[in-house]
Amino acid sequence: MRLTWFRLLSGLNKAVLPKIYKKPDLERLSTLEKAVVGWKMWVTYRRLDAESAHQVATADAKPSAHHT
């Protein structure tokens, strides 16, 4: 559920929000542009965390072929 939510947010960000990396000088962003960058970073980090947690949960759920 969490992974699905952040995948959706990430897709919306890509479709709706402006691409700020095209700005020649990122140090001179307006307050709104800084907020957009911060939001995109927050969503990206949360999505990566959710994907990592999903991969760990999937790996833990699979039975191991190596029994010691």
pLDDT, one tens digit per residue, over 7-59 is 999 999 899 988 887 777 878 889 998 899 899 999 999 999 999 998 888 88
Those residues whose C-beta lies under 8 Å from the C-beta of residue 50, and which sit 6 or more positions away, are 2, 3, 5, 6
| pTM recorded for the entire structure | 0.73
Is 51 within the bounds of a domain?
no
Question: How many folded domains does the chain comprise?
Answer: 1
Q: What pLDDT score was predicted for residue 8?
A: 93
Q: Which domain holds residue 34?
A: 1-18+29-46
Structural domain contains residue 6: yes
pLDDT at 31: 92
